[in-house]
């Protein structure tokens, strides 16, 4: 059984975010607008020089990935100097410039017009400028060691907090999380002013900071008391927290971020405050990271609020939506109301409709089918995204929720042909292969391929577990489901598959334990509660079954499977009228999904049994015949139809039905007993039937009494055997949000009381 992966929580330390320069404006900006890349013109050139296939450098192997260099940008050193002197480029996440007394070198007051014409030269670039460009281009080309190497030299010269941040970024990208954390948390001392212009090989940083001579030597500078970078910049604080997460220091990271959003009290925070530069709000990113940390310490309710806050603050933060939906943290109705109520127009007025339509495709598909179909149609026609993998996934998820596994498999195959591995699609793809017998061999090959390509991914070992479950090797499948749940504790399909292996072996207590763990982890899904209720039905614990099925119904009142199980529960409680209503509702919802009628054979069989107990024999016969139309060799339906015919006085038809049932299941003792009773009745009936025997009144009364006695024997027989064997459905194994499958319980017994 999978280990209980409860993470020990760190000590709860009251934490107040230290004041940050320009704090009221921090949360509404993104990194791009508030962090200088070094040479200020580099930012402008990156915006202006948008790379494309038609760009001359796009096919030049000697060009860098940054369309800015000393020979491509205007050499306006004096212009930049005066710009920086008037307004120092701010540290990431701060709108207030770092105050520095910058002295422009003497003798450099010449006119700048000479730099505005003619060819660009390297004359306007210092060594710091060039190495900053090397640092960024190395990061762009994933040469992180080179980026760290040159970034370290730049920081040694400039002592610039901007350069310290970018060096920490390079360390982070190079998986050197401890070095990045140390750099961001240690005291950082920046010089208060620069020296005069240096000559010869000595260079001065164009940002106004003193640079040491390239040729060596030391320059005495006057400094001031330093501060940690995390206290100067919200971006540095966010990056430091990311480093601590990677190092497993969850309590420290949570202390650094704060357990609540510190910006809510500033008066300049909220969904209606737009991002001024069009990027992502750092405040929203911090809320998302805070939610991840709270999940690590098993505080799912608080994490849910953080993710909702992150998405509300910035509707572009898809990571928060993915955590809410994939993590099953919200019910069907909660998801719909929350996503519909986001401030799209206030935050992204130009793209509000598009973002809303895309998010609708990611929600659960138990309700609002028409609205989601309309959204998908608009994305295909208006935005030309019919072949996009995320739009196709919305269609595949809809088909799977309707139990249309063959159609769903076609779509998931199309998605995986495009992107090879699509995290949201793979569980659906594997579940469809589980349900389609002719795909079992391909499931075996796919599981091997995933393990070879992604051995550290939980989905790979989950695929192996699905294969063993398909082969009814439940012990082996349980081992791999357990492994997947250990690798990724919040991977819902692994927990559900783990529980299924116990349920299919008849180990009800262990199955309930596994499903209970899934219910605790995925509080927005009704399926674990439904499966717990099904297990209690199997052992006739009707009180607990009622509690769990009622809870599942409250969370999702549009799943046909829930209504089927409630119908079975009411049948066992001998409330046959309520049972018939639930089962009728289940078939009504199934008809709306346009799924195959064969999937709901058991539900229709259950409805026919409820009609029989209510004395609605004609309706019972109609439904038994529909079952036989869909599954002609269903021996239980044949015997049950014979019972109804027998009770209706159609003895010859009943005998025929019993013979057909015995042709499929010859050794069924109950069917043989019922056949003998029917044959006796037929022998005694005569040519005019039971009530048409042409003899004395005494003979007539004797025949009536005998008939009543025989019917009582049938009822006793049914009660002795009645409702003792139940079939568990072939439950699907997609995701926690899509493990619907078909009706799980069937009243296959010959109960004619």
> Which secondary-structure segment (H or E) carries 521?
helix 508-521
What is the Cα–Cα distance from 436 to 733, expressed in whole angstroms? Answer: 13
The pLDDT score that the predictor gives to residue 683 is 76
The predicted model gives 14-30 an average pLDDT of 40
Q: What is the pLDDT of residues 41-70, one digit of tens each?
A: 443 444 343 334 344 444 434 344 444 444
The pLDDT score that the predictor gives to residue 704 is 55
Least confident of 229-233, 518-522, 627-631: 229-233
Q: What is the pLDDT of residues 368-425, one digit of tens each?
A: 888 999 999 999 999 999 899 999 999 999 999 888 899 999 999 999 999 888 889 9
Q: What is the pLDDT of residues 641-680, one digit of tens each?
A: 998 988 888 888 889 999 999 999 988 888 888 888 888 8
Q: Which two tokens stand for residue 413?
A: 């195959």
Max mean pLDDT among 209-218, 303-312, 661-670 falls in 303-312
The pLDDT score that the predictor gives to residue 596 is 76
Given a cut of 80, is residue 584 above it in pLDDT? yes
CA 83 from centre of chain: 47
CB-based burial label for 636 (10 Å; 0-12, 13-18, 19+): buried
- How many residues belong to the chain? 753
The pLDDT score that the predictor gives to residue 341 is 92
Q: Which two tokens stand for residue 691?
A: 């009530």
The pLDDT score that the predictor gives to residue 583 is 94
Given a cut of 50, is residue 191 above it in pLDDT? yes
> Which secondary-structure segment (H or E) carries 647?
helix 635-647
Q: What is the mean pLDDT of the chain?
A: 76
What is the Cα–Cα distance from 88 to 162, expressed in whole angstroms? Answer: 11
In DSSP terms, 228 is beta-bridged to 187
DSSP 658-721: HHHHHHHSTT-HHHHHHHHHHHHHHHHH-TT-GGG--S-HHHHHHHHHHHHHHHHHHHHHHHHH
What is the Cα–Cα distance from 479 to 404, expressed in whole angstroms? Answer: 29
Percent of the residues in the chain that have a pLDDT greater than 90, as a whole number: 48
Q: Which two tokens stand for residue 62?
A: 């000697």
Least confident of 34-38, 245-249, 280-284, 646-650: 34-38
The pLDDT score that the predictor gives to residue 719 is 54
The pLDDT score that the predictor gives to residue 124 is 65
What's the per-residue H, E or C state across 251-308? HHHHHHHCCCCHHHHCCCCCCCCCCCCCCCCHHHHHHHHHHHHHHHCCCHHHHHHHHH
The candidate with the shortest Cα–Cα distance to 45, out of 131, 144, 137, 141, is 137
In DSSP terms, 227 is beta-bridged to 188
**Which domains occur in the chain, in start order?**
624-685+740-752 (1.25.40.10)
In Å, how far are 447, 449, 469, 578 from 455, measured between CA atoms? 11, 10, 20, 50
> By the 8 A CB rule, do 499 and 531 touch?
yes
The candidate with the shortest Cα–Cα distance to 673, out of 651, 658, 660, is 658
The candidate with the shortest Cα–Cα distance to 732, out of 744, 724, 740, is 740
> Which secondary-structure segment (H or E) carries 77?
helix 77-86
The predicted model gives 230-248 an average pLDDT of 90
DSSP 456-499: T-HHHHHHHHHHHHHTT-HHHHHHHHHHHHHH-TT-HHHHHHHH
Q: How confident is the model at residue 89 (pLDDT cuts 50, 70, 90)?
A: very low
The pLDDT score that the predictor gives to residue 708 is 67
DSSP 401-463: HTT-HHHHHHHHHHHHHHHS--TTHHHHHHHHHHH-GGGHHHHHHHHHHHHHH-TT-HHHHHH
Percent of the residues in the chain that have a pLDDT greater than 70, as a whole number: 70
Max mean pLDDT among 85-89, 601-605, 719-723 falls in 601-605
In Å, how far are 380, 389, 594, 669 from 386, measured between CA atoms? 4, 9, 22, 57
The pLDDT score that the predictor gives to residue 699 is 55
The pLDDT score that the predictor gives to residue 698 is 58
Q: Which two tokens stand for residue 451?
A: 């393990």
Contacts of 559 (CB under 8 A, 6+ apart): 366, 526, 530, 552, 589, 740
Task: Return the number of other C-beta atoms located less than 10 Å from residue 386's C-beta.
Answer: 13
Contacts of 354 (CB under 8 A, 6+ apart): 383
The pLDDT score that the predictor gives to residue 83 is 44
Given a cut of 50, is residue 301 above it in pLDDT? yes
The predicted model gives 578-598 an average pLDDT of 87
The pLDDT score that the predictor gives to residue 463 is 95
The pLDDT score that the predictor gives to residue 188 is 77
The predicted model scores a pTM of: 0.75
What is the Cα–Cα distance from 227 to 91, expressed in whole angstroms? Answer: 13
Tokens 């320059």 belong to 219
The pLDDT score that the predictor gives to residue 595 is 72
The predicted model gives 700-712 an average pLDDT of 65
Rg (CA), the chain: 36
Q: What is the pLDDT of residues 99-141, one digit of tens each?
A: 333 232 333 333 333 333 333 344 567 888 889 999 999 998 9
> By the 8 A CB rule, do 753 and 715 touch?
yes
Q: How confident is the model at residue 729 (pLDDT cuts 50, 70, 90)?
A: very low
Exposure on the CB side of residue 171, measured as CA atoms within 13 A: 22
Given a cut of 90, is residue 325 above it in pLDDT? yes
15: phi then psi, degrees, rounded to nearest 5: -140, 135
CB-based burial label for 29 (10 Å; 0-12, 13-18, 19+): buried
In DSSP terms, 188 is beta-bridged to 227
């Amino acid at each position: 059984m999978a280990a209980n992966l409860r993470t020990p929580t760190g000590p709860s330390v009251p934490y107040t975010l230290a004041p940050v320069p320009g704090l009221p404006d921090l949360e509404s900006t993104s990194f791009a607008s508030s962090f200088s890349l070094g040479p200020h013109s580099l930012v402008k050139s990156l915006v202006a020089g948008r790379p494309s296939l038609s760009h001359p450098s796009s096919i030049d192997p000697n060009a860098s990935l940054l369309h800015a260099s000393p020979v491509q940008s205007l050499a306006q050193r004096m212009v930049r100097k005066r710009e920086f002197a008037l307004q120092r480029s701010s540290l990431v996440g701060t709108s207030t410039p770092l105050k520095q007394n910058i002295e422009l070198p003497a003798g450099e007051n010449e006119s700048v017009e000479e730099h505005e014409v003619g060819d660009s030269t390297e004359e306007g670039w210092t060594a710091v400028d060039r190495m900053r460009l090397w640092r960024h281009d190395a990061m762009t080309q994933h040469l992180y060691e080179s980026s760290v190497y040159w970034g370290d030299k730049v920081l040694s010269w400039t002592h610039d907090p901007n350069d310290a941040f970018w060096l920490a970024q390079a360390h982070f990208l190079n998986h050197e999380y401890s070095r990045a954390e140390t750099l961001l948390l240690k005291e950082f001392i920046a010089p208060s002013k620069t020296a005069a212009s240096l000559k010869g090989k000595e260079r001065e940083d164009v940002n106004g900071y003193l640079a040491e001579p390239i040729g060596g030597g030391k320059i005495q500078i006057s400094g001031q008391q330093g501060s940690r970078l995390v206290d100067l910049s919200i971006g540095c604080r966010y990056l430091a927290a990311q480093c601590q997460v990677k190092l497993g220091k969850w309590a420290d990271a949570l202390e650094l971020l704060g357990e609540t959003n510190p910006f809510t009290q500033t008066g300049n925070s909220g969904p209606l405050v737009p991002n001024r530069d069009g990027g992502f709000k750092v405040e929203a990113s911090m809320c998302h990271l805070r939610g991840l940390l709270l999940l690590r310490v098993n505080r799912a309710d608080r994490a849910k609020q953080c993710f909702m806050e992150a998405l509300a603050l910035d509707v572009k933060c898809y990571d928060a939506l993915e955590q809410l939906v994939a993590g099953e943290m919200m019910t069907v109705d909660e998801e719909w109301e929350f996503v519909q109520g986001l401030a799209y127009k206030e935050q992204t007025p130009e793209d509000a409709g598009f973002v809303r339509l895309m998010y609708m495709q990611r929600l659960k598909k138990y309700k609002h089918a028409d609205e989601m179909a309309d959204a998908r149609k608009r994305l295909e026609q208006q935005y030309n995204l019919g072949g996009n993998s995320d739009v196709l996934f919305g269609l595949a998820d809809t088909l799977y929720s309707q139990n249309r596994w063959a159609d769903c498999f076609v779509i998931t195959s199309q998605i995986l042909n495009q992107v090879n591995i699509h995290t949201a699609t793979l569980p659906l793809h594997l579940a469809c292969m589980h349900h389609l017998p002719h795909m079992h061999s391909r499931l075996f090959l796919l599981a091997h391929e995933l393990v070879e390509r992604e051995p550290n991914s939980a989905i790979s070992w989950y695929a192996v577990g699905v294969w063993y479950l398909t082969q009814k090797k439940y012990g082996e499948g349980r081992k791999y489901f357990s492994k997947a749940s250990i690798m990724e504790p919040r991977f819902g399909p692994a927990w559900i598959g783990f529980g299924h292996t116990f349920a299919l072996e008849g180990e009800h207590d262990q199955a309930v334990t596994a499903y209970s763990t899934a219910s605790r982890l995925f509080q927005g899904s009704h399926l674990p509660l439904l499966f717990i209720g099904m297990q209690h039905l199997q052992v006739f614990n009707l009180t607990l079954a009622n509690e769990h099925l009622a809870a599942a119904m409250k969370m999702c009142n549009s799943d046909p499977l829930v209504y089927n199980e409630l119908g079975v529960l009411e049948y066992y409680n001998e409330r046959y009228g309520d049972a018939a209503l639930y089962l009728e509702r289940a078939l009504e919802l199934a008809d709306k999904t346009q799924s195959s009628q064969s999937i709901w054979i058991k539900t229709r069989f259950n409805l026919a049994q409820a009609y029989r107990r209510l004395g609605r024999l004609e309706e019972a016969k109609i439904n038994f015949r529909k079952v036989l139309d869909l599954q002609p060799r269903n021996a239980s339906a044949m015997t049950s139809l014979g019972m109804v015919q027998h009770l209706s006085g159609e003895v010859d038809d009943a005998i025929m039905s019993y013979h057909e049932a015995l042709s499929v299941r010859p050794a069924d003792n109950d069917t043989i007993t019922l056949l003998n009773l029917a044959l006796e009745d037929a022998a005694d009936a005569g040519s005019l039937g039971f009530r048409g025997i042409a003899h004395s009144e005494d003979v007539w009364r004797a025949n009536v009494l005998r008939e009543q006695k025989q019917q009582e024997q049938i009822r006793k027989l049914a009660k002795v055997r009645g409702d003792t064997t139940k079939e568990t459905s072939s439950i699907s194994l997609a995701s926690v949000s899509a493990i619907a499958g078909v009706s799980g319980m069937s009243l296959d017994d010959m109960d004619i009381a």
